[in-house]
Structure 1
Amino acid sequence: MKKTLLTILVLLLLPIQVFAVTTWSKPTFIHGGGLSQEQVEQTSLLLGIQSEDDVLISPVVGKDLENYIGGNPTATEDMISSALVTKKEKDSGLSVEIKTPENITLVTKEQYEGAAITAGVGDVTIFIASPFAVTGESALAGVYKAFELNGEDLSRGAMQLAQEELGVLAGITEESKNKEDFDGAKLAQAMVEIKEEIIAAIEKEGSITREEIQKIIEDSLKKLNLINIVSTVNIDKLVNYFVQFSNTEGLDFTQMKKQLEGLGKELAPKIKDLLKEAESSGFLDKVLKFFEELFQKLSTLLD
């Protein structure tokens, strides 16, 4: 009798367990914990959410980020940028759209994609928004939480790297955004190329030296006309970051290479136009300089 009752109890519990582990049943809206309720509602509209019933909703707070990446605690009131994460079919890749580009001041769409790839995020569409101007660095924490809520674990080391990556890129953007030849897309392309070359070196040789990493970084920045824009201090930060990248265990290079290839293809037309524009501008500068020098010589002769 006891065995029969136990069997019935187990059978009754089984369906509950099956439904409990269902993941990504809805798009997941993770809003910055620093937003008021009114701002949360405003952000949901900015992200295109028609009804709260259509999404899984949760805030991301400072303690969450501390759990994901460690380090110094982040104040919840500083976490503003928010994310809507929707799962896609396997091997469908990663896409990011910033719904309020005027309010995300230091991180571009492509830089979000690159950092998300580093974190091991894949097969999702990510919409990012903020109701007012912020750097945008905390939005990725919302993506980590969306994965956690839906039962998918991301490597802590990979999340730490991704957050560090966003911080380094935000610093470069802040320093360089007013310089004539700077563009966030070129910086994102440099990151793609650097990662691809470092991964190739590690897969071939088993490791890579700091000096080799520095050469790869400088060569890529030269190729994209960024070497005289990114300061020596920030180049050192890139070197330190990529040394950390090369030494982090558990990164899925196979998945990362596939996604980096996709991001590179997405960036290619924009980079081609930017380099062509820079080349044309350089030619025009040479023509103007020629005539300027010519007029100076003529003026000297006339005097």
Structure 2
Amino acid sequence: MKSKRIIGKLSAVLLTISILTAIPVRQVYADAFKVVTLGANLTAKQKEDMLRYFNVTKEEANVIEVTNGEERKYLGDVADAKQIGTKSISSSYVEPTDKGGLDISINNMYWVSESMIRNALITAGIENAIVKASAPFNVSGTAALTGILKGFENSEGGQKIDEDKKKAANEEIVVTGDLGEKVGKDEAAKLINEVKTEVIKEKPQSTKEIQQIVTGVADEYKVKLSDEDVQRITALMGKINDLDIDFNQVKDQLKDVTGKLKTVLTSEEAQGFFSKLWSAIKAFFEKLFS
């Protein structure tokens, strides 16, 4: 009888184990908050290369694609066809964090800059995150822009971004990029950031007041704007003004952008000075010994 009871208990234990092992267990990864967006027109090898560049596997991150149609949906009203193109190539890595601000890096992008992305994310209401944007070869980067915002919304740590904020953020990048082709990307980002800071802080009551801020900042930084530039920036800032962003909540982020841009611009100015100095010295000796 005793042996029968032991066998019965063993059978019950084995049955319990078999039931537990048969139930599918949802695997929880430590990096579940990470999202990678891949350009839909990348080849299979290029997609694998992008995952290696972002240092994640398909099991460690939520991997989604961005199509050219999605680019046109969010950028079509403000970016021209040349900027968007017909294929989605650039990709992004998004990891929302609890602290640390915005840690942004880019690779192989000629039109989009780190400062442009940073400015747009502030407008979208994103405070803390690690963001990387890259492509297997040099591209404009518009697919990555669309992917970054899509990535936040598809992350377990992210939240649905207000549509008005999303549109304003996308438009901000396009306006900054177009201005950057005329005055330089970092100069353009600096101007837009300063104007946005003033608009959020002062909360102007009319389009005329916004325009005065635009022209005032441009004069202060000695950036020559065309009438069309002034109109586009004023229209953009009108939309940002309507978002009613709390200045106290974003002032540190805006200040951080300004500080980073000053460092970059000062470095560029120094490089330009020494480059001109070396050219002058070289020309002097060439003339002396000719």
Q: TM-score, normalised by structure 1?
A: 0.69
In structure 1, what is the equivalent of residue 256 of structure 2?
Answer: 262
Whether contact under 8 Å (2:90, 2:133) holds in the other structure is yes
Whether contact under 8 Å (1:34, 1:77) holds in the other structure is no
Distance 2:194 2:233 in 1: 13
Distance 2:114 2:133 in 1: 9
In structure 2, what is the equivalent of residue 161 of structure 1?
Answer: 168
Determine helix, strand or coil for the equivalent of 2:161: coil
Structure 1 residues 273 and 212, CA, compared in 2 at 3 Å: closer, same or farther?
farther
- Equivalence map 1:1-303=2 (5 Å): 25-45=32-52, 47-49=53-55, 51-62=57-68, 64=70, 77-90=86-99, 92-98=100-106, 100=107, 103-151=108-156, 152-174=159-181, 176=182, 182-202=183-203, 207-227=204-224, 230-248=225-243, 251-273=245-267
Distance 1:33 1:58 in 2: 9
Shift of 1:31: 1.0
Of the structure 1 ranges 156-165 and 58-67, higher mean CA displacement relative to structure 2 is found in 58-67
**Unpaired segments of 5 or more residues in structure 1?**
1-18, 177-181, 285-303
Whether contact under 8 Å (1:68, 1:160) holds in the other structure is yes
Distance 1:132 1:236 in 2: 34
Structure 1 residues 21 and 240, CA, compared in 2 at 3 Å: closer, same or farther?
farther
Over the aligned positions, Cα root-mean-square deviation in angstroms equals 3.3
Structure 1 residues 197 and 20, CA, compared in 2 at 3 Å: closer, same or farther?
farther
Determine helix, strand or coil for the equivalent of 1:78: coil
Distance 2:128 2:136 in 1: 27
Shift of 1:275: 6.3
Whether contact under 8 Å (2:201, 2:247) holds in the other structure is no
Structure 1 residues 264 and 21, CA, compared in 2 at 3 Å: closer, same or farther?
farther
Distance 2:141 2:95 in 1: 19
Percent of residue pairs identical: 23
Structure 1 residues 70 and 188, CA, compared in 2 at 3 Å: closer, same or farther?
closer
Distance 2:197 2:98 in 1: 25
Distance 1:167 1:116 in 2: 13
Determine helix, strand or coil for the equivalent of 1:80: coil
Whether contact under 8 Å (2:34, 2:60) holds in the other structure is yes
Shift of 1:89: 2.5
Determine helix, strand or coil for the equivalent of 1:212: helix
Q: TM-score, normalised by structure 2?
A: 0.72
In our comparison, the structure showing a higher alpha carbon Rg is 2
Whether contact under 8 Å (1:35, 1:77) holds in the other structure is no
Structure 1 residues 65 and 120, CA, compared in 2 at 3 Å: closer, same or farther?
farther
Query: C-alpha offsets along residues 275-298 of structure 1, whole Å, 9 cap, x if unaligned?
Result: 6788x79xx9xxxxxxxxxxxxxx
Amino acid at match of 1:264: T
Structure 1 residues 122 and 133, CA, compared in 2 at 3 Å: closer, same or farther?
same
**Unpaired segments of 5 or more residues in structure 2?**
1-25, 278-290
Distance 1:21 1:48 in 2: 20
